[in-house]
């Protein structure tokens, strides 16, 4: 049977390992969030560029109904 000291040591080791993993995951999430924010900014810029180009290519004359309507 395990001694209480061994069980306590095992629990302390597990807690330390879990804390390390949590810190790694937190850092990874922070990096991914930065990436998402950069991608959102790029998407906004590209959307604006697309809308600008779309406006430039629109016909100058308004679309009207054909004469037979």
**Overall number of domains in the chain:** 1
Res. 1: pLDDT tops 60? no
Residues 25, 20: Cα–Cα separation, whole Å: 9
Average pLDDT taken over every residue of the chain: 91
Band (pLDDT 50/70/90 cuts) for residue 62 is low
Residue 2: inside a domain, yes or no?
A: yes
Residues 6+ apart with CB under 8 A from 10: 2
Name the residue range of residue 28's domain: 1-38
pLDDT tens per residue across span 3-58:
888 999 999 999 999 999 999 999 999 999 999 999 999 999 999 999 999 988 87
- Look at the pTM and tell me if it is higher than 0.85: no
Residue 32: inside a domain, yes or no?
A: yes
Residue 1: inside a domain, yes or no?
A: yes
């Amino acid at each position: 049977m395990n001694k209480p000291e061994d069980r306590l040591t095992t629990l302390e080791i597990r807690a330390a390992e879990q804390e390390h993993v949590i810190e790694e995951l937190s850092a990874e999430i922070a990096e991914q969030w930065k990436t998402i924010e950069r991608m959102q900014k790029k998407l906004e810029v590209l959307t604006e560029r697309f809308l600008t180009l779309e406006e430039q290519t629109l016909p100058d004359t308004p679309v009207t109904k054909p004469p037979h309507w």
